[in-house]
Structure 1
């Protein structure tokens, strides 16, 4: 595949930004500043304002009454279930913008299905995937500015693996002033799925599998090095830069307790729960694009595993400081 990215100072930039954030929102317990010294009181107010903003809910903008468009095409997600066939997914009118940000192959297509079927509104995407469109994701070609989709999927700069990504490039890929769902999956699992997708084509590429041998090339290990940095960049960028409500969802948590986290997401989106529709979602959790595989293997070198551990530690620090749950199955023991 060739080199994916030029080596940059991404790590240094992330460390500097993290250091600044930690200084802003944490105060050493052994040296509490007085209200009138070094802006201690102002920093605490800024910290609380930041946390209140990030942990808020999506505010429906004027004109957004969560009404569906009955003229444009619709989709029946459960047409073969007579108890649920009457439910349709439709386009909206004047819906407030919300982003779904994730690394590729983190479960975003499955989450789109869950949100579409539980809200009754299509989701959008920046990538115009014809396969997904034909499978019923009719909002795939819709831009966020049209107000016709409940969320808009983007992978930010992590989608473009063949060019240099500096800090400004990454900043401009994702609007920090739009409410955001950040979907995180452990980097090891994400990269295995991502590399698989690189080597698949055709109408079933989102579900097909590949031989283990494709993970035994030099190109794969080059990819692991670069993509681990991209995973960390995407997560740290959203945590550091988002200026609107931010919901952090871990893929592993969504798999373990799907309906619980889906209800929490609907609350974040300020979308009332339709209990009849939600019962049908609970009966059809997998949808058409959740890959089911029981194969477990480990294609990574020891150095790559250390790289994963350190990336997860740094992101867990940011998650903890900002009041979000850490990545499941991990903990920060660096102290």
Structure 2
């Protein structure tokens, strides 16, 4: 049993093993995007993002509101290869995330974003179904963020669904005061823990855990670590451009303009309990814990 545990840890902490034929080749076809084209005269303006050819599948898993769109921007900027998703968000597509288009072929994106089975089936009671739904052998990036801040960000997105700037707009204080918000908090706290726990307990392929707070605090260092995990060569020219264009178009401000804490004491206790359980799993698997200085008090 101890040998099995050592073998699992060794696998979890390895980097992506690129499949035969995967040389991170890009498709020079018409579908490309210049994300820094509005910076004329800059050496960054000429960089293009393109689809890949035969790229090894890697999943990016997070709860909505965890910063996955910003992380996708960073990965596309650093690698020059589009990321994909399970959703087909037309707003993101119009802003250059061409991997959002329905029908994008497997092997054409550097990572494929998903929010996990809980967000499609709302609680899968059968453990075997949950296990099979996460594709446990696929290389995985698990993006975690403090649940309180995640829920604030997701609630904004949820309330702005159907609006042109849903990813960055604010909502009024009144939308945090009704019973529907507190029902949302209860459901999302459970889903946050379920998504994190399922991936930590059941992933058997290479797994990289990144905390949003750490990515914000030291973006380029953690981006380099991610590129190492993905087994992607570092392009210093691209990274220099990332350093001068860190925000992208969709890095949402999750604080409230009115300095309002919308959570009850019971909700904060539930956050703390969920974080404690997830941190225990992170420690057992030798991953860093959620940064404590970023939690809402």
TM-score normalised according to structure 2 size? 0.93
* Structure with greater Cα Rg: 1
| Cα distance in 1 between the residues matched to 2:58 and 2:85 | 11
Q: 1:147 corresponds to which residue?
A: 107
Contact 1:144 1:152 in 2 (8 A): no
User: Which residue pairs with 1:44 in the alignment?
Assistant: 2
Q: 1:136-175 residue pairs with structure 2 within 5 A?
A: 136-141=96-101, 146-160=106-120, 163-166=122-125, 167-175=127-135
Can you list the C-alpha shifts for 1:16-67, whole angstroms capped at 9, x where unaligned? xxxxxxxxxxxxxxxxxxxxxxxxxxx2211210110000000110010111
Cross-structure match for 1:188: 148
Shift of 1:86: 1.0
SS in 2 for 1:139: helix
SS of the residue 1:236 aligns to: helix
Worse-superposed segment, 138-147 or 93-102: 138-147
Please give the alpha-carbon distance, in whole angstroms, between the structure 2 residues aligned to 1:105 and 1:153: 13
Within the candidate set 86, 110, 124, 1:126 is matched to: 86
1:227-266 pair list within 5 angstroms = 227-266=188-227
For residues 106 and 30 of structure 2, the distance between their equivalents in structure 1, rounded to whole angstroms, comes to: 14
Aligned residues: 288
Deviation at 1:297, TM superposition (A): 2.4
Q: 1:271 and 1:181, CA in 2 relative to 1: closer, same or farther beyond 3 A?
A: same
Instruction: Give the secondary-structure state (helix, strand or coil) at the position aligned to 1:207.
Output: coil
Aligned Cα root-mean-square deviation (Å): 1.6
- What is aligned with 1:273? 234
Q: Secondary structure at the match of 1:146?
A: coil
Q: Report the counterpart of residue 112 of structure 1 in structure 2.
A: 72
Q: Using the alignment, how far apart are the partners of 1:55 and 1:144 within structure 2?
A: 29
The question of 1:70 aligning with 2:28 is answered yes
Note the C-alpha offset of 1:144.
Answer: 7.6
Q: 1:61 to 1:273 in 2, by over 3 A?
A: same
Matches within 5 A, 1:198-213: 198-200=158-160, 201-213=162-174
Alignment of 1:292-303 (within 5 A): 292=253, 295=256, 296-303=259-266
- Counterpart contact for 1:158–1:231, Cα < 8 Å: no
Instruction: Look up the match of 2:273.
Output: 310
Q: Distance in 1 between matches of 2:103 and 2:209?
A: 23
Q: Structure 1 pair 61/319, CA: closer, same or farther in 2 (3 Å)?
A: same
- Secondary structure class of the residue paired with 1:264: helix
Q: TM (normalized to structure 1)?
A: 0.83
CA contact (8 A) 2:153 2:252 kept: no
| Distance in 1 (alpha carbons) for counterparts of 2:170 and 2:129 | 33
Preserved CA contact (<8 Å) 2:84 2:111: yes
Give, in angstroms, the shift of residue 223 of structure 1: 1.2
In structure 1, the residue matched to 2:47 is: 87
- How far apart are the structure 2 equivalents of 1:176 and 1:305? 31
Please state how far the C-alpha of 1:145 moved relative to its aligned partner.
5.6
In the other structure, the counterpart of 1:29 is none
> For 1:282-301, what aligned pairs fall within 5 Å after superposition?
282-292=243-253, 295=256, 296-301=259-264
| Residue equivalent to 2:59 | 99
Gaps of 5+ in 2: none
Moved more, 71-80 or 57-66: 71-80
